[in-house]
Amino acid sequence: MRWEPLLAAPLVVISSASWGNVYLSTEQAQQAIFAGAKFTPVRLMLTQEQRDTLRARSGVYEPFKEDRVWFVDGGGFFIVDDVVGKHETITYAVGINRDGSVKQIEILEYRETYGSEVRDPVWRKQFVGKTLEAPVRLNKDIVNITGATLSSKHITDGVRRVLMLHDMVLKGLPHGVR
């Protein structure tokens, strides 16, 4: 009788678990950007034309979620949005001042395995004061973070989309509609 070695196939395990950190809740981000303010939800219903314009001009293809916009008592808006970093979603918030400029941005959830340097306050501070008149483009007026290039680019594109939303829809809302 002859014995032949039995070759076992290697076992490959593929995990669908995703990496991620929750840094701030929506309420915590609201208070971080507009401390002590009261927030009133804004009821948005974007037309398909508005959605198409936002997509074409910002380069952000994830749908904008209309139920994540608040009017800030005293003036301004607080907006939560999502972009894809390299593979996973990044949830961030933008505070818009009464004059339409960026007050501050915060990263709420970062799900990528690397590139979380976009949470660095020095990097995020580049957005403060930006309006739609600024390029708000990576390597133009926003400096890239090496090792987090896609996250940097997509957050920059997302902030530009939020500024466009403000310019196209929010700044024209009658006070009573809020």
- Count of positions (residues) in the chain: 178
Write the CA distances from 26 to 80, 108, 130, integer angstroms.
8, 7, 22
Tokens 């009133």 belong to residue: 40
Q: Which residues of the chain have pLDDT under 50?
A: 9, 11-18, 176, 178
Amino acid letter at 33? I
- Rounded to whole angstroms, the Cα distance separating 70 from 79 reads 6
Whole-model pTM? 0.86
Q: What is the pLDDT of residue 172?
A: 86
Q: What is the pLDDT of residue 15?
A: 39
Give one DSSP letter per residue of 116-152, joined into a string: GGGG-HHHHHTTTT--TTS---BTTTB---TT-HHHH
Q: What is the pLDDT of residue 176?
A: 46
Q: What is the pLDDT of residue 21?
A: 87
